[in-house]
Amino acid sequence: MSTSLAESLHTLIDAEAARLHQVIDELLARHAEPAAPSHAARICIDAGHGGGDPGAVVGNVQEKDVILEYALELGRQLGARGHRIRLTRGDDTFLQLSDRARISNEMAADCFLSIHANFASSEVADGAWIIHAEGSRLGRGLAKAIFSELATVPGILDKDPETEVYADATPWVGGRRLTVLRKTYAPAVLVELGFLSNADDLTQLLDPDERWRICKAIANGIEAWSKGRSIH
């Protein structure tokens, strides 16, 4: 065997070994026993839409189904870390906006997250947004903490994270004063995971492995925020 061929084979073997180590590390991380958090929080997770309200529809993909999977996964991850979790819906059920806020208020949540996926008439629009109620300092802090972690997930962002955190009254996000953010007593955010109308975003959001990574980033952001507020 020539020296150059042997070197090439060694390079390929090293690259494959590195890839396998990465896969193994990720699998171990998924199944490892999480340490009990020093600042456990009460977290309300809202999967938007549901029932007769499908949200955005692209082909046979409905927003309500996509985001329910994210809400369930996020709840599993946060629950495994020792946080107290309440889902506004765990199946294909429709809830009024005021009822979603009421569920959060009844559990005296420390924070509230409404999970959605975006849609635009242009297929170019992409990336995640996080929206908080205008004037909510704590809501903005929560949004920024989550987004700083989402920024670590390849493909989830299209711009600098700071520009993708918006107040709900901002014209850029439609100038809507969102009921779920304003009727919820806890610091609240609405997470737009990406655009179903964008092919790359859609592919990423439907991938179970990407779902796990995205939810892990959101969970990390929530924990970083809750520790900063000394929630027990």
Within 10 A of 9 (CB to CB), how many other CB atoms are there? 11
pTM: 0.82
* pLDDT given for residue 121 in this prediction: 94
> Domain spans of the chain?
1-32, 38-228
* pLDDT given for residue 32 in this prediction: 47
Q: Average pLDDT for residues 171-199, to the nearest whole number?
A: 93
Q: Report which of residues 98 and 14 the model is more confident about.
A: 98
Within 10 A of 227 (CB to CB), how many other CB atoms are there? 14
Give 11's pLDDT tier (boundaries 50, 70, 90): low
pLDDT exceeds 80 at position 10:
no
Chosen CATH of 38-228 out of 3.40.630.40, 3.30.365.10, 3.30.1390.20, 3.30.470.30: 3.40.630.40
Q: Give per-residue pLDDT as tens, 195-231.
A: 999 999 999 999 999 999 999 999 999 999 998 875 5
User: What pairing do the DSSP bridges indicate for beta strands 111-118 and 129-132?
Assistant: unpaired
Give the span between the Cα atoms of 151 and 218, in whole angstroms.
Answer: 10
Q: Average pLDDT for residues 41-63, to the nearest whole number?
A: 98
Compute the mean pLDDT over every residue in the chain, rounded to the nearest whole number.
87
162's CB contacts (< 8 A; 6+ apart) are: 144
pLDDT exceeds 90 at position 7:
no
Q: Average pLDDT for residues 94-107, to the nearest whole number?
A: 98
Q: Average pLDDT for residues 163-180, to the nearest whole number?
A: 87
Lowest mean pLDDT among 45-54, 82-91, 223-232: 223-232
Total residues found in the chain within this entry? 232
Lowest mean pLDDT among 136-145, 158-167, 213-222: 158-167
Q: Average pLDDT for residues 20-41, to the nearest whole number?
A: 53
* pLDDT given for residue 161 in this prediction: 56
Q: Average pLDDT for residues 171-187, to the nearest whole number?
A: 91
